[in-house]
Amino acid sequence: MLSYRHAFHAGNHADMLKHLVLSLCADYLTRKDKPLVYVDTHAGAGAYRLSAAQAQKTKEFETGIARLLKADRVPVEVQGFLDVLTGTGLDLNELYPGSPTIAASQLSPDHRLQLFELHPNDFPALERHFHGDRRVRCYQRDGFEGLLSAMPPKERRALVLIDPPYEQKSDYDQVADTLATVTRKFQPVCALVWYPIVQRERSDTLVRKLKKLSKNWLQAELNVSEDSSGYGMTGSGMFVLNPPYLLAEQLQRCLPWLTRQLAPEGFYRLDNKAD
């Protein structure tokens, strides 16, 4: 099934959480002058025009990136994230960068990016977006299979983002199964898993499985409303396997502020385990 298009949701509250965590992890991993590969299993189109029909139909960016751009007294972690977005070179009032664009702006010329996207419309856009960037390889293939083929990386350091649309129930099991195989092939991987909160039992089951894969993990959620099965996505979460040691402290400082900005009646969750 290839009906999901991120253009309808670009720049929304879920993107704010996902991309904040991604940028914080990328910032930490790029502090060392060592080889690194970034792997994105569902890379999308690379960037999204906010004036396009898809984005205008939902206007989800208005309660996401638009609020952050207007905010005052921004925490240093969120300001750093906004600086990363600005560093992509895009006019954030017109275009919102996807995950691979954010990562690419933080990685050095010696790092690699492997981007997987199966959708027949998004993949050509992804290729055009990264045309001329020698660090980047785009593949029109299943992202789960692509990730497994990329492990273990020759660099021995990897930042991975797994964020399928979860349109099919099987996506939840496939995420857990794929990451279990990845950790067997390359245990030190820093893997970021995004998940929607639509039916709480499903997302909690996924997280329980992921927690068994490592003694080092972090879970962060931003909920814009109370759980309510059958009424769409009420929030989203990020599960990080082998997170940077600073990440929990950084999110503890900025996640309450982020929640107040994006969802005054919402709530957040932050949990972690470090061996």
Catalytic residues: 163
Contact between residue 126 and residue 141 where contact means Cβ atoms under 8 Å apart: no
Question: Is residue 107 within 8 Å of 135, Cβ to Cβ?
Answer: yes
According to DSSP H, which parts of the chain are helical? 13-29, 53-58, 65-70, 76-87, 99-106, 122-129, 143-150, 170-185, 200-211, 247-262
Torsion-angle region of 108 (φ positive above 0: left; ψ -120 to 50: alpha; else: beta): beta
Q: Across the chain, which distance is largest between two alpha carbons, in Å?
A: 47
Give 222's contacts (C-beta < 8 A, 6+ positions apart): 13, 14, 16, 17, 235, 236, 237, 255, 258, 259, 262, 263, 266, 268
Query: CA 206, 209, 212, 214: dihedral to nearest 10 degrees?
Result: -40
Query: Measured between alpha carbons, how far is 126 from 117 in angstroms, rounded to an integer?
Result: 8
Tell me if 234 sits within 8 A of 223, measured CB to CB: yes
Both tokens of residue 96? 């919102």
Cβ 36 vs Cβ 155: under 8 Å: yes
